[in-house]
Each structure stands twice: as C-alpha cells, then as structure tokens.
Structure 1
Amino acid sequence: MDRLPALTVTALPDPGLAAAYAECRRINAHYGRSYYLATRLLPPARRPAVHALYGFARVADELVDAPGPDPAGDLRTLEGALGAALDGAPTTDPVLRALADTVARHGIDRSLFTDFLASMRMDLTVTEYATHDDLARYTHGSAGVIGLMMLPVLGTEDPAAAGPYAAKLGEAFQLTNFLRDVGEDLDRGRVYLPADHLAAFGVDRARLLRARVEGPDRAVRRAVAHFAAEARARYREATPGIALLDPVSRPCVATAARLYAAILDEIAAADHDVFTRRAVVPNRRRLAIAAPGAGRWALARLRAK
C-alpha cells in the first residue's frame, strides 16, 4: 500500500478519523502517563501515530490482563478485525481505524503485529519462564516489535542499523514493567522474572508469593536488584540508537528512556520492595526530567526549518 503523508489530526477532513485518533490519544494519556508526556516532545504531525500504536497495544493487553469469559476467542476476534482493517475494510472501532491509517501512512510491517499478538496469547497459557532465553521470546513480541513499529514514525535514515537499538529499548521498557508490576503479576498467577536467574539468589515462586504478603526478604531484594541492573544495562545498550533517529524525534525517545529508567530509581529508593508497594515517579520529578527534552526539541525544530 502506498504511504500517505504525515498528519495533523486537527487538519483531517474526515471527522470520524479525527475522532478515532482522539480516542487513541485519550487512551495514551490515561494509561501511559510517562509515554504520553514524552510524545509531547514530538512534532504534532507524528504524535497521532504513536497514540494509535499505544492504543492498540493497550486494547490487546487489557484482553489478557482483565480477561472476559473467552480471552483466547477475544484475541482471535481482535486479530481478525485487525487484518480486515489493514486490508482496507471499513471498521467502526476507533482504535483499529486509527491504527490502519497509521500503518498505511508510515508503511509499518504488518508481520510485527502478528508477533505482538503471539506474545499476548502466551499470557493466556504461560505462567512462568524457566530461562532468560525463554523470556526473550516473549519480550521480542511484547516489546521489541513495538520499538520496530515506532521506527517509521520517528524517522531514521538507516532502519537496518536503528532496528536492533529500537527493539532493545522496547525490551528495556518491558523489563522495567516486569519489576514495577511484580506484585500485580503474581496476583494474576504470572512470574516474568526467569526462574534460573531467581534460583541463583535462592528465590522461587513460593518465596515471591510470601514477599507479596510479608514484604521481601534479603534474598528477594537482591534478586530484584539484579534484574534492575539488567534493565539499566539494556537502556545503556539502546542509547546509541537514539542518534540514528530523525533529530526532531530524539528528544522524545531520550526523555521516554529517562522517564522509564527513573522507575528503577524509585525501586532502589524503596530498597527493592516491589511487592507491597508500586514504584511511581512523582510528577515533580517527571516534569524535571522532561524539561531538558523540551529545550532540545525546540532547538531541533528550529534547525529543521
């Protein structure tokens, strides 16, 4: 399909499509506060596509995290509706309508959505991961491909070189999520932290469940610190890829990485207790992190003119 030009939602002649993008923006603002704050550092014409990608990922995620009577069937229905929308079939679903438009405008590889939904299906049957390699298969689809979907929106002159860095950053975000949400995931019956790494600290599922009730002991805290260090390493590995992006997109991505890495700081400040509390970056600090990015964004915009 031929790519369409980038857009500004307020300039769309189709009010239905404008409303679809507005709904995706609402979903992003409500559920993804750090991501949403970072998108404010993108040129206005690139923000709607990010909202559409986030909105779709959130819809799929909700089907497995807050499942109905037939979550597997719901995912199949979503996948079928997605395929039809990407083929050009009319849809009344605002998220799918905005997403189909985004895929057309930016030439996003449709196979990435197949990989993403495959990982979502894993959440319905897989409750733990024996090894880091096992987990990597999940995080590729749940997070790495999100970074790859974003690349055409953000812009890069060398997609082949930038791709591995984009996937790595998506996985860094995901590892941070795993740590922040350990307690909630335990409540859903899931453990994402690989068993072989936990075992190195003498930790297993039973010990994690006890930490959910009583708070973490020293061994559990050490295990969480280990995974936090791994996430930080992933951010460092992904950082060189930011320089490969369109200059006007770099402040957004750099700020998103700093905002999300700040969750790791909050986890450390809580002595790695992610079981009886949820690590949240205070609004004042989030704004302080975003402020330098706003200055870099304004400078990049001036240079692009």
Structure 2
Amino acid sequence: MTRDHSKTFYFGSRFFPLPQRQAVWAVYAACRVGDDIVDEPGGGPVVLSDWWARVQSALTGRVAFSQAGPHPVDLALGWAAGQFPIPVSAFQELYLGLRMDLEGQVYRDMDDLELYCRRVAGVVGFMIAPICGYSGGDRTLEYALRLGQAMQLTNILRDVGEDLARGRLYLPESLLNEYGVTPAMLEAAEVTPEYCALMRHLTALARTWYAEGRAGIPQLQGSGRLAVTAAARAYEGILDALERNGYDNFRRRASVSGTRKLLMLPQAWWEMKLG
C-alpha cells in the first residue's frame, strides 16, 4: 500500500532497518485506509467511525475480528503498536481531520488550513518519531509536526485540480480575496498571474515549514535521520516540479522521478551529517 500510494513516503521509508520500516508501513497503511474512506465511493461517517474503532482496538492490543477475520492493516498496526509507543491521541487527531473532509469544512483563513494540515499529516510526525526514537522531548515532536504540515501543504498545492473535482477547496478564502483569485477562475482552471502569485506565496510558506521541521531531524536516532531527511527532500521536490510546471496544478500533476530522488540522496546525507 505504501509503495503504490505514496512513492515519496515509500522512498524515505526504505532507509529504516526492517522492523522500523515495517512499522512505518503499518502506520502509513492505517492512515491511508482512513483517507480512502473520505475520498472514495462507499465511504462516509459510519464507515469512518468503524475505522476509528478498529484503529483504537489495534493500538491497544485488541485487534478487531469480523466474520472474514482480522483486516491485514489492523494486524500490522497492532503489531507496530506492540513494538513502539505509537500514541492513540495522534490517530484521534487524524480522525478529526478526516471528519473535516466529510463535513465539507470551509477554510476561511490560514488558521483553518494550518489546523487541517496538523490533523491529517502533522500528527503523523507524532506516530513516526517513536518508531525512529528521538531525544529532545516535546520540542522534537513540534519539529516533526511542522514537517508533516509542510508535506500536507505540498499535497494541497499539487492537487488543487483533483480536489476541485471532488468538490473540495483547501485554499483559504482570505488568501483568495487577497490575491484576487475568484471562484470563476478556479472553475475555469485558469492559471492567471493572480493565481501564480498565490501559489508562489503558499509555496514559500511550505518551504519555510520544511526548514523549521528539518531542525528537529538531528534529534532522531540512527538511520531515522536519513530516512526522514530523504523523504522530506523528495517531498519538497514536488514544489520544484510545481514551479517548473508554471503552477499549473489543474492539468499537470507535479511529481519527482525516481532518478531525481536518487540524485537528492547525496544532499540528504550531507545535511544529515551536518546536523
């Protein structure tokens, strides 16, 4: 699931030792199941509530069984939680973030968007940090939170067109008004000068969040430093691709090739050594 749905996350995960790698995959898969419930047909509040109940059971060592037997992702998450102190509270915030999608949250300002980025991705840092092992206490977790938020903002900037097709818009109303981007422009998929200016603003904000989040990487233990550095660099590369595409995220999907990711590794390794 990780390899098929997030090549960038999977790329970074390969630098963990096997037990940590498997735990990271289990966490990603559990998050992905929840995400698919709000994005794909057949989901909804009842199905999401069932997912949340199953996650709680798995994290507390009580994997739920149905007539078909336990779900493989539940088994994997239950195993991971038995090996590493993955917090239930982080998944609870994720659940609240996924509900924001189901309830059609309107994003009036950056505070609304930042909260959403925290809930659906920032808290993944709280899940991954215990798997890495870390020092620095809550300060390191705040850095991990910021890095996850940067990745989610990157997703939002990459997927504006796809999200509009689902009836969702994450760009805050206050910024749309500030930059003169109208609903009609978005519906027409117009890459206007005003829209490009808005994208430049949010791309710069995402880069600031990456820089803030990377400050915590030296507090991670062992190969977790390289794994997170590689994933962050590859994810930030999506912003480079968006810029190369002229900020056209209606018709073109910004992505980073496998070759380009590999070429980022020396820089990621050097940053890790400097940290």
Report if the CA contact (8 A) 2:52-2:95 is conserved: yes
Q: Rg larger in 1 or in 2?
A: 1
CA apart distance, 1:136? 1.9
* Corresponding letter in the other structure for 1:80: A
CA apart distance, 1:67? 3.1
* Corresponding letter in the other structure for 1:81: R
CA apart distance, 1:138? 1.5
CA apart distance, 1:161? 2.0
SS at match of 2:170: coil
CA apart distance, 1:77? 1.1
CA distance in 1, matches of 2:14, 2:173: 38
Instruction: Report the counterpart of residue 206 of structure 1 in structure 2.
Output: 184
* Residue 81 (structure 2) pairs with residue 103 (structure 1): yes
CA distance in 2, matches of 1:184, 1:168: 24
* Corresponding letter in the other structure for 1:289: M
CA distance in 2, matches of 1:67, 1:290: 38
CA distance in 2, matches of 1:223, 1:137: 20
Report if the CA contact (8 A) 1:127-1:189 is conserved: no
For structure 1, the 5+ residue unaligned runs are 1-26, 300-305
SS at match of 1:200: helix
Report if the CA contact (8 A) 1:106-1:152 is conserved: yes
* Residue 61 (structure 2) pairs with residue 88 (structure 1): yes
* Residue 107 (structure 2) pairs with residue 133 (structure 1): no
CA apart distance, 1:126? 2.1
Report if the CA contact (8 A) 1:38-1:290 is conserved: no
CA distance in 2, matches of 1:296, 1:95: 34
Instruction: Report the counterpart of residue 169 of structure 2 in structure 1.
Output: 191
Report if the CA contact (8 A) 1:263-1:280 is conserved: yes
* Corresponding letter in the other structure for 1:246: Q
Instruction: Report the counterpart of residue 37 of structure 2 in structure 1.
Output: 63
CA apart distance, 1:43? 1.8
Report if the CA contact (8 A) 2:59-2:86 is conserved: no
TM-score, length-scaled by structure 1? 0.83
Among 189, 195, 198, the residue aligned to 1:223: 198
Instruction: Report the counterpart of residue 20 of structure 2 in structure 1.
Output: 46
CA apart distance, 1:86? 2.9
Instruction: Report the counterpart of residue 147 of structure 2 in structure 1.
Output: 169
Distance 1:257 1:87, change over 3 A: closer
CA apart distance, 1:283? 2.3
CA distance in 2, matches of 1:208, 1:128: 16
Identity of aligned residues (%): 36
SS at match of 1:45: helix
User: Residues 17-36 of structure 1: matches in 2 within 5 Å?
Assistant: 27-36=1-10
Report if the CA contact (8 A) 2:8-2:234 is conserved: yes
Instruction: Report the counterpart of residue 16 of structure 1 in structure 2.
Output: none
Instruction: Report the counterpart of residue 10 of structure 1 in structure 2.
Output: none
CA apart distance, 1:85? 2.6
Among 39, 50, 68, the residue aligned to 1:77: 50
CA apart distance, 1:128? 3.0
Q: Which region of structure 1 is more displaced relative to structure 2, 86-95 or 253-262?
A: 86-95
CA apart distance, 1:250? 0.8
Report if the CA contact (8 A) 2:58-2:74 is conserved: yes
Distance 1:185 1:127, change over 3 A: farther
